[in-house]
Structure 1
C-alpha cells in the first residue's frame, strides 16, 4: 500500500491512475457508508475509506481511512493533512484529536481478543501499548511491569515490529503470540531468549497496520482509556499522573 506523504495543512491533488477491479470494489463499498462522497480518487492513492462525513468547515469532509484521518474536498479530488481547532471558546479545542481518540477506542474494542494482557489485581485503569521485542524502551517498560500493576494499571500489549513484517522483531512477536503462554514468551524475548518459530495464525500484521492507522511512529506507543496516544516510555508514577490528568 502506498502511503501518502503530505505536509500539515497542505493541499494535494489526488492522482488519476487507472482503476483496477479492487479499487472499484472498495469505492463501491465505501459509497454505501459515505453517501455521495466520491472515494475513487483516494482509492487510487491506496487509501481504504472507512467513513466520510462533513466536518466543521463547510465544504470539507472528515475522512477516516486505514491510514488515519484526513480531510477532503466534497468531490474527493483534494485532501488536506492537518488538525482542525475550534477557537470559539476560552481555549482552542483540537476537534481532530477528539475524532482520532474516538476512533482508537472503537478500533481497540475490535482487537480485545488479540492482546496480551497483564492485569492489575486492583484495576483502576487500562492502557494499550504497541510494543517491539527489540526496542530498548519497550524493555524498560516491561521491566517495570510490577510497578504499573501495583498502581492499578492493567497493560494490554499489541505487536508493532518497527522494521516491518520481514524483520527480526516480527518473527519474534509472531512466536510470542503463538506460544502456549504468551505472557511468559513476551518476557522471554525481551530478555533475549529464543523461542520456537511461529506456526499459527497470529495478529501481528493486523496490529502493525492498526498502529499505522493510529499514527504510531515508534515504540512503545501508549493509548490511554480516552483514546489519547502517548509516544514513548513513561515510568509508572509519571504515567499514572498522565492518566489521572487525562480524565
Structure 2
C-alpha cells in the first residue's frame, strides 16, 4: 500500500510538471501553506517539473502546488551522484568563527596553517579509526571537541573528563585513542563535556566522528586521509559524497 501511495504522489507531481511555475511563485505558495515551517530555499529541481524545497534540515521535492511532497534523496544514476546530499551539505554549513574552541583540545601539527574541527567520542571505534587517518596529515591545527554518546558508551563521559583534566590533555587523548591508556587523576575539574554535547545537538550533529572543515562543511564518519587532504585543499567546490561510518545515538 505504501509503494502504491508513493507511486500515486510521484505520478501526480510528474503530471503537474507540465505546467511549471517559477521557483519564486512556488516559494510564495509554500510559505503561505506552511507558515510555521522554516523554508530556506525553493528552486527548480534537476528533474523537469519538480521543485526542491529546503526546510530546516530536510529536503523535499514537490510540484508547483506544494500540496504533495516527497522526502528522500534524489540520485543521478548515470553519474552515480547523490544530488540531495550536496544540497544538505550546502545548507548545513557551520559558522566556524562561532565555534567555542576553548572547549576543544588543540593539537598543532607542523605549521598548523590549515584547520579542522572534530567531534569525537573516546569509546567510538570509528573515532579511533579517524585518529589513525589524522596522524597522516601535517600542517594542520586540529580542535577536538570531546562528545560522548552516552546511550552507546556509558563510560565515555567519564573518560572525556579524565582526559580534559589531565596535565597534558592532547597527550592523554592521543594515548587513549591509540592504546587505551587513561591518565591517572581526577575527572572533577571544570570541563566542557556537557557543553560540547549541547553544542553538537545545536549544530545537528548526532554521530561521531564528525569533521567540520574551515569552509563550514560537515563530514560525518572516519574519512580516509586522502579525502581529508582533498577537502582541505578545495576552495569552494561542492565535495563528492563519500560513504563512511559514524556512530549515532
Contact 2:119–2:208 (CA under 8 A) maintained in structure 1: yes
Match of 2:147 among 160, 168, 189: 160
Cα distance in structure 2, aligned partners of 1:98 and 1:198 = 38
Counterparts of 1:108-147 in structure 2 under 5 Å? 108=99, 111-147=100-136
Cα distance in structure 1, aligned partners of 2:209 and 2:149 = 10
Match of 2:181 among 170, 179, 193: 193
Contact 1:83–1:95 (CA under 8 A) maintained in structure 2: no
Match of 2:37 in 1: 79
RMSD over equivalenced CA pairs, Å: 3.4
TM-score normalised to structure 1 length = 0.58
- 1:236 maps to 2:225: yes
Match of 1:105 in 2: 96
Give the deviation of 1:174 after TM superposition.
1.0
- The secondary structure found in structure 2 opposite 1:118 is strand
- The secondary structure found in structure 2 opposite 1:205 is helix
Larger radius of gyration: 2
Aligned residues: 172
Cα distance in structure 2, aligned partners of 1:117 and 1:237 = 22
Give the deviation of 1:96 after TM superposition.
7.2
TM-score normalised to structure 2 length = 0.58
- The secondary structure found in structure 1 opposite 2:180 is coil
Give the deviation of 1:154 after TM superposition.
2.1
Cα distance in structure 2, aligned partners of 1:158 and 1:127 = 11
Contact 1:129–1:156 (CA under 8 A) maintained in structure 2: yes
Cα distance in structure 1, aligned partners of 2:166 and 2:211 = 24
The runs of 5 or more residues in structure 1 that have no matched partner are 1-55, 62-71
Contact 1:130–1:220 (CA under 8 A) maintained in structure 2: yes
